[in-house]
Amino acid sequence: MYALALASISIAGFFLAYVFYSKFLSGKLFPVLELRNLPSHELEDGIDYVPTRRSVLFGHHFVSIAGLGPIMGPAIAVIWGWLPAFLWVFFGAIFLGAVHDFGALYISLKSDGRSIGDVARDLIGLRAGTLFMVIIFFLLALAMGVFALIIATLLSEGYYPQAVIPVFSLMVIAMVIGTLVYKKGVGIFKATVFGVAAMFVMIYVGMLFPVTGISKDAWICILLVYAYFASSLPVWLLLQPRDYLNSFQLYAGVALMYVGLLCVPALKIVAPAVNTASGKLPSLFPFLFITVACGAISGFHSLVSSGTTAKQLSNPRDARFIGYGGMLAEGLLAVIVIIACTATYASTDAWHARYSSWEAMDKLGPKLESFISGAASFISRLGVPEEFAAVFMSVIVVGFAMTTLDSATRLLRYNIQELGRTFHVKLAKNRYCASLVAVVAIGYFALMKVSVHDPVTGLVTTKETGLILWQLFGSTNQLLAALGLLAVTVYLFQRRRPTVYTLVPMLFMIVVTVTALLMKIRSFWIEGSWPLLVISSVILLMSIWLIIEAIIVSRRYALEVGRSKRIRKASGKEKQTSLFR
């Protein structure tokens, strides 16, 4: 298979999906053009609810949903072969991920920009909605604790010290841009040119002056302080302009990779279409669909769509472009990652040497190195020095992780505030207090360590709590996607709109995630990993409870609708009989 052919199929398929399928969805399921009073205008407060132009919001949304997921997931998922990974990204993004994101954005726009967990209280009931928000709280706190740990590892252990200056200087540049645009009236074009130029200059400065000598725990503390301010400051001052500027790094990186691919049209994918030779390989079903994550569908996206994006959407016409189109753009990123990890090796043997076993690849370094070296290979074909290309891609990787951390901390703050309103806890409704609780929860998973006994060697080692619980992230994240689709499906059912386009993806994701969790629970039982066993069992039971609640509410609603129809029909017959008496 030629790499260029795979890229061409992806671009053409995603383009057609956006033109036709997303238009169909916006007409039949999510009629965005009928929206009149958008939350960003009705509830504008200059902090969270801020009307934002399409180009800026798309960059903010895209970078927030992307993160490391579409890089790390496909980079290891190709171990099952390039074909299963590609098919899941291609069809998953079109029929599951983009529908999920668009639907979550739409129902949030119809509900004052509230998060999908909060909206679930109206759709399914107070008890189930609160349960949903508790699941969201655990997922975000765990995931961001691990992300803080990952970023600290990348910055402290010699992976990418050149990324420190570019990543942290972007915070200052973003605040300058936000102030110029929103307070000084500077045009967005001039501000963008200045911001992007300054950003790329700092990448070069970072190459000259790599930062080393800071411990992992110190980096975690620095990141938590940053996350607190990113969560509590007005969105226009730091988070939005930072993500917007950061998106240009991504656009440039992806564009350079695709153009570099054009320079070698005869390049072939050397990895096998389907691989079973690697050691200790988990079963393709369900773990392929858990591993790829953000490249095809991710529950985290529903939190971004209904959390920050819905509060900033300024024009109803932008909803389809951002909600559906943003996921397709992420699909394109996942596809080029698949190509970079399967077509830049000298031979099939060289690829097998890298992907020799699941244990060898299921680590931070090998996954990122596989992508970065492949991406730098493409970019270097354009005359760019390969060393600079590798540094540039490493800055994108670390920057991506940072944007996920700051956006998710803000989403966790929203979650805590919504729980505060539910239980009438005054302090929890305050954004500064809620941000502090969010950062403490993230810090717990990032900094806490536990002693782990190895039953084989008998040795006791100390490991970070977050890395132990990270084994549950993939399953819980995809389970959250299933629950997000569940909320959208209930919403459509209650409004008598077609549900098959969200119901089928929802059922598929429920089967995938429940199967994965049951297999994990069995594995934890055999290994004697009691904390993981308890937590995974609780998550599974809570999710099943939520699904049952949704079924009960939907059945009750259907019975009420049927009863109303019978009453109206009987009333009509009575009137008709009386007329003929």
For range 371-382, the mean pLDDT: 87
In whole numbers, what is the pLDDT of the chain averaged over residues? 88
Task: Give yes or no for residue 579 having a pLDDT over 50.
Answer: no
Under 8 Å CB-to-CB from 171, ≥6 apart: which residues? Answer: 226, 238, 242
Which residue in the block uniquely carries the two structure tokens 């500064």? 432
* Percentage of the chain lying above the pLDDT 70 cut: 95
pLDDT tens profile 23-41: 999 999 999 988 888 999 9
How many Cβ atoms are within 10 Å of 209's Cβ, its own excluded?
A: 10
For range 535-548, the mean pLDDT: 85
For range 481-493, the mean pLDDT: 92
- The whole-angstrom separation of Cα 522 and Cα 526 is 6
pTM: 0.91
The predicted pLDDT at position 86 comes to: 97
Residues 324, 25: contact at Cβ < 8 Å? yes
For range 131-152, the mean pLDDT: 86
- H/E stretch holding 156 reads helix 126-156
pLDDT tens profile 105-116: 999 999 999 999
The predicted pLDDT at position 578 comes to: 46
For range 129-158, the mean pLDDT: 84
For range 360-370, the mean pLDDT: 77
Helices (H), 470-529: 473-494, 500-527
Residue ranges of domains in the chain: 3-447
122-136, 268-282, 307-321: range with lowest mean pLDDT: 122-136
- Name the phi and psi angles at 457, rounded to 5: -90, -20
The predicted pLDDT at position 573 comes to: 59
Q: CB-side exposure of 205: number of CA atoms within 13 Å?
A: 13
pLDDT band at 273 (very low <50, low <70, confident <90, very high): very high
The predicted pLDDT at position 559 comes to: 80
Is the omega angle on the peptide bond into residue 316 within 30 degrees of 0, that is, cis? no
pLDDT band at 387 (very low <50, low <70, confident <90, very high): confident
Task: Give yes or no for residue 511 having a pLDDT over 70.
Answer: yes
pLDDT tens profile 34-71: 888 899 999 999 999 999 999 999 999 998 888 777 88
- The whole-angstrom separation of Cα 428 and Cα 416 is 6
> How large is the C-alpha radius of gyration of the chain?
24
Q: CB-side exposure of 143: number of CA atoms within 13 Å?
A: 29
- Token pair of 20 as six digits: 């036709």
Cross-strand partners of 460? 453
pLDDT tens profile 557-570: 778 777 777 777 77
The predicted pLDDT at position 581 comes to: 39
Using a 10 angstrom Cβ sphere, with 0-12 exposed, 13-18 middle and 19 or more buried, the burial of residue 184 is exposed
pLDDT tens profile 152-193: 888 876 677 888 899 899 999 999 999 999 999 999 999 999
Task: Give yes or no for residue 547 having a pLDDT over 90.
Answer: no
The predicted pLDDT at position 288 comes to: 93
pLDDT band at 446 (very low <50, low <70, confident <90, very high): confident
- The whole-angstrom separation of Cα 155 and Cα 147 is 12
- The whole-angstrom separation of Cα 546 and Cα 552 is 10
More confident residue, 455 or 133: 133
How many Cβ atoms are within 10 Å of 227's Cβ, its own excluded?
A: 27
